[in-house]
Structure 1
Amino acid sequence: MKNQNLLRMDNIGIVVESLDQSIVFFLELGLKLEGRSMIEGEWAGRVTGLGNQSVEVAMM
């Protein structure tokens, strides 16, 4: 197998009412759930510009 290098990665964030229902939706479209976690504190606030906060994320 040839060596493959990642040249680019794009991502988007989508705010949803129900993370559980959204995960099911994307699974049905054929995506795979890569991980799910809580991001809290100052770092999360710097990313969004909204200050100290707690965000639950799912990586699909």
Structure 2
Amino acid sequence: MTKSKLLEMNNVGIVVASLDNAISFFTEIGLTLEGRGMIEGAWAGRVTGLGDQSV
């Protein structure tokens, strides 16, 4: 069986206990962190369905 290579990942929401550990995991499997930012308030809650929050 041929190994596949992950080329890109977009718009994925994963709940994790440690963002730093999650970033380490994904960089170890070959992905590159392109940026980090904070999204807050009612809009974020409407997108995720989790209420007023900080993401």
TM-score band by shorter chain is: 0.7 to 0.9
TM (norm. structure 2) is 0.73
Describe how 1:1-60 pairs up with structure 2 within 5 A. 10-55=10-55
> How many residue pairs were aligned?
47
Structure 1: 5+ residue runs without aligned partners?
Answer: 1-8, 56-60
* CA RMSD in angstroms, aligned pairs only: 1.6
Report % sequence identity: 74
Distance 2:11 2:46 in 1: 17
Q: Which is bigger in relative contact order (C-alpha 8 A, separation at least 6)? A: 1
Structure 2: 5+ residue runs without aligned partners?
Answer: 1-8
Structure 1: which 4+ aligned runs deviate by more than 6 Å? none
Residue type matched to 1:11 in 2?
N
Q: Judging by fraction of residues, say which structure has more strand.
A: 1
TM (norm. structure 1) is 0.68
